[in-house]
Chains A and B, each alone.
Chain A
Amino acid sequence: MAAPESLVYERPESFTDTPTHYCPGCTHGVAHRLVAEVLEEMGVTNRTIGVAPVGCAVFAYNYFDTDFVEAPHGRAPAMATGVKRVLPDRVVFTYQGDGDLASIGMGEIVHAAARGENITVIFINNANFGMTGGQMAPTTLPGMKTTSSPNGRDVESQGYPIRMSEMISTLDGVGYCVRRSLHDPKNIRLAKKAIRMAFETQVRGLGFSMVELLSTCPTNWGMTPVNSLKFVEEHMVPAYPLGDYKVSEAIKQVKI
């Protein structure tokens, strides 16, 4: 007799029934899903306000079943500050890429963190400006070819990558700041736990929280999805070490 069917995988309720616009193999979909699962598990979907960036995730508001606003390029942490300060009992998160957060939005992210704004930032680091077609980002690795570093990023003329988690974790307003990767199932599970801890930091009022997620961009990297995952493991992880850069004592005690 056949075993009764049991559903082992379905759309989180905090997701809308909308196919995403992301390229095949891109890890944005994974990151979105992890955030949606966490919001649902914490039971905060109906009091969450998301802040979408400018970049590939510009349409993030189509996919989460929460209120959403859409910020100008890089300004999501400032906009989130405005929302959170007038609605302190709501859950407010930004979802930003590396061009948005580490380039044009450097001022906003650093000061939101320094003020200890009780917001959560999901930071997608895929080492390039995805939406505009793969230009060099502050996170592009030395020697990495992009459409605006066609011979590979030359650190002599184009500078060095910025390690955001290391930098943000130096600020006293930060309650939680970690880097994770989305290149294999084990790391995806670790990433989900980190996202949960970031939102737990927020609902406990423990300050600014950020999860940096090393991500793929198969289309602009000119790689298959599988090779992109390998690239993250072999090249991104050594340049952007995974780890807990700052975890407040109070959040270390939280057991989920």
Chain B
Amino acid sequence: MAKELWKGNEAIAEAAVRAGLQAYFGYPITPQTEILEYLSRRMPELGRAFVQAESELGAINMVYGAACAGVRVMSTSSSPGVSLMMEGLSYIAGTEVPAVLVNVMRGGPGLGNIAPSQADYNQAVHGGGHGDYPRIVLAPASVQEAIDMMGLSFDLAEKYRMISMMILDGSVGQMMEPAEMPEMKPIVERNWDWATNGALNRERRILSSIYIEPAAEEVANLRLANRWKEVQANEVRYKEYFLDDAEIVVVGFGTAGRVSLSAVRAARAQGIKVGLLRPITVSPFPYEVIDQLTGQAKAFLVVEMNMGQMLSDVRLAVRGRVPVEFHGRPGGMVPFPDEILHEVQRMNGANLSVHADPINSWLARMAEVK
């Protein structure tokens, strides 16, 4: 299909429809509302389920019900709304049913603002709902990538009976770019052997997140842990740019990664041996790739639109062998390529210490921003 001009949020909605979305439940919140609006028209015209829920609590529990019924189901929201969904996400994870959630992130904490942000990385990747559970998290940096990841999100969620989240900052949701839509896929009745869709002459099924016996809950937790090992072994995705001879490795996901690429290109033009690693799956995180890059890199620079969340994962992979620096723009700010270029120039040939706290030195540099 030819490239068309698509707005990120609407592209996500249409891509989900074409991937076989059977039910959507959502609630208005900026900057993701266009997904809800688009699907309020598109889903009924295809005879598929759409409900504007009374709240994000309602929406995620409608997702939970439809997921138990065994259909392709999705919700979308933005940061404060996703916080409200955490209860439902934990139940969905505990029940081991597949569901897709998109978080078009905005500045926080609290009501924050409606500007682009990556401040929900920890909530998506490490935290969120109560209890111990893994989830897949994809981080697109463009409208095209967001489109391409929709079908993948459903496939991964179903393959591993797990939540698959897509986190993007508000700018990817709001901007228009040329992008190519995939063909419309037909709805596939999957007849999962676990779905509670009305017994109809088979043994009845129960879907629940209850394991009242701790020993049974432990078994369930270990089952999730072992499934996660499989995800880690098979589903790590990332993009590399100019890494072959890179001495400085910039790591950034989503828009921060995309802006970093401009800076990396500019630095290359100045003869600086710098490259970029852009994680596509931030969960499972590409620890191994960073581990390998640590052998060649003299230093890492982590760029995020938050106060240094993925930074912890990079440091975990680097394990103190080389310095890791940080540049972040929190609160709904987006870094300019020049800022990142400036950081790369500063690091190039500098005598950096592995003992310096990257957050402290970043905060000291940020003091000038005020």
Binding site for B on A (CB under 8 A): 45-49, 51-52, 58, 61, 65-72, 75, 78-87, 90-91, 107-108, 110-111, 115
What is the distance, in angstroms, from A184's C-beta to the closest C-beta of chain B?
33
Q: How far is the CA of A79 from the CA of B58 in the complex (A)?
A: 8
User: Are A108 and B61 neighbours in the complex by a CB distance under 8 Å?
Assistant: yes
| B150-208 residues at the A interface, CB under 8 angstroms | 196-201, 204-208
B147 → chain A, closest Cβ, in Å? 24
Q: Smallest distance from the beta carbon of B315 to chain A beta carbons, Å?
A: 35
B330 within 8 A of A: no
What mask results when residues 57 to 75 of chain B are scored 1 for a CB within 8 Å of chain A, else 0? 1110111111111010100
Contact call B69/A82, Cβ cutoff below 8 A: yes
Q: A79 and B61: CB pair below 8 A?
A: yes
Which residues of the other chain, A, contact B95 by a CB distance below 8 angstroms? 69-70
Q: Is the CB of A72 within 8 A of B88?
A: yes
Contact B61 A75 (CB under 8 A): yes
Residues of B within 8 A of A68 (CB): 196, 204-208
Chain B nearest CB, measured from A62 CB (Å): 8
In the complex, B91 has a CB within 8 A of chain A:
yes
Tell me the B residues contacting A by CB distance below 8 Å.
Answer: 22-23, 25, 49, 51, 53-55, 57-59, 61-69, 71, 73, 87-88, 91, 95, 196-201, 204-210
Residues of A within 8 A of B73 (CB): 82, 86
Residues B206 and A67 in contact, CB atoms below 8 Å apart:
yes
For the complex, give the distance between the alpha carbons of A110 and B53 in Å: 12
A-B contact pairs, 11 of them (CB 8 A): A67-B205, A67-B206, A68-B204, A69-B68, A69-B207, A75-B58, A79-B61, A82-B63, A82-B65, A82-B73, A107-B54
Question: Most B CB atoms within 10 A — which of A46, A66, A67?
Answer: A67
- Chain A residues whose C-beta falls within 8 Å of the C-beta of B209 in the assembled complex: 70
A115: chain B residues within 8 A (beta carbon):
51
* A140→B206 CA distance, assembly (Å): 32
A67–B197 touching, CB < 8 Å: yes
Residues of B within 8 A of A65 (CB): 204
- Cβ-defined contact, B210 with A70, below 8 A: yes
Given contacts A47-B198, A111-B54, contact A83 B206 (CB under 8 A): no
Known: A67-B197, A72-B88, A107-B58. A82 touches B66 (CB 8 A): yes
Residues in A whose Cβ lies below 8 Å from that of B62: 78-79, 81-82, 85
Determine if A82 and B23 form an interchain contact, defined as CB atoms under 8 angstroms apart.
yes
Contact A86 B71 (CB under 8 A): yes
Which chain A residue lies CB-closest to B70? A86
| Min CB–CB distance A106 → chain B (angstroms) | 10
Q: Nearest chain B CB to A107's CB is how many angstroms away?
A: 5
Given contacts A47-B200, A67-B196, A69-B68, contact A78 B206 (CB under 8 A): no
A107 touching B55 in the complex, CB below 8 Å, given contacts A67-B204, A82-B69: yes
Contacts beyond the supplied A48-B198, A69-B206, A107-B54: 13 A-B pairs with Cβ under 8 Å: A66-B199, A66-B204, A67-B198, A67-B199, A67-B206, A69-B196, A78-B54, A78-B64, A79-B64, A82-B63, A82-B68, A83-B69, A111-B54
Please determine whether A85 and B66 come into contact, CB atoms closer than 8 angstroms: yes
- Which B residues touch A52, using CB under 8 A? 208
Q: Give min CB distance, A80 to chain B, whole Å.
A: 6
Shortest distance in angstroms between B200's beta carbon and chain A's nearest beta carbon? 6
Q: Which of B61, B201, B205 contacts A71 (CB 8 A)?
A: B61
Residue of B nearest to A111 (CB): B54
Closest to B24 in A: A85
Residue among A66, A75, A110 with most chain B CB within 10 A: A75
Asked whether A90 and B58 contact (CB < 8 A) given A70-B208, A75-B88, A81-B51, the answer is no
A78 to B66, CA, bound (A): 10
Residues in B with CB closer than 8 Å to A80 are 65
Task: Give the chain A neighbours of B87 by CB distance below 8 A.
Answer: 72, 75
Q: List the A side residues contacting B71 at CB < 8 Å.
A: 86
Would you list the 3 A-B pairs with minimal beta carbon distance, nearest first? A82-B65, A111-B54, A78-B61
- The distance from the CB of A177 to the nearest CB of chain B, in whole angstroms, is 18
Q: Which residues of A contact B204 (CB under 8 A)?
A: 65-68
Cα-based distance from A84 to B66 in the complex (angstroms): 8
Q: Given A72-B87, A82-B25, is A46 in contact with B198 using a C-beta cutoff of 8 Å?
A: yes
* Complex: chain A residue closest to B205, CB-CB: A67
What CA separation (Å) do A82 and B206 show in the bound complex? Answer: 16
CB distance from A51 to the nearest CB of B (A): 7
Do the beta carbons of A90 and B210 come within 8 Å of each other?
no
Q: Which residue of A lies closest to B64 (CB)?
A: A79
**Chain A residues, Cβ within 8 Å of B196:** 49, 67-69, 83
A207: min CB distance to chain B, Å: 15
**Nearest CB in chain B to that of A108: its residue:** B58
Quick one: given A86-B71, A87-B69, are A72 and B61 in contact (CB under 8 Å)? Answer: yes
The interface residues of chain A lying within 8 Å CB-to-CB of B55 are 107
Enumerate chain A residues within 8 angstroms of B58, measured Cβ to Cβ: 75, 78, 81, 107-108, 111
A82 touches B198 (CB 8 A): no
B66/A86 in contact, CB under 8 A: yes
Q: Is the Cβ of A87 less than 8 Å from the Cβ of B53?
A: no
CB distance from A90 to the nearest CB of B (A): 4
Q: Give bound CA distance, A45 to B208, whole Å.
A: 20
- A61 pairs with B206, CB closer than 8 A: yes
Assess whether A51 is in contact with B65, with CB atoms less than 8 Å apart.
yes
Give Cα A58–Cα B292 distance, bound, in whole angstroms: 50
Query: Is there contact, CB below 8 Å, between A82 and B61?
Result: yes
A85/B200 contact (C-beta < 8 A), A69-B208, A79-B65 known: no
Contact check, A78 vs B198: say whether CB atoms are below 8 A apart. Answer: no
- State the CA gap A105–B282 with chains docked (Å): 34
Say which residue of B65, B67, B205, B206 sits within 8 Å of A81 (CB atoms).
Answer: B65
Are the C-beta atoms of A83 and B68 separated by less than 8 Å? yes
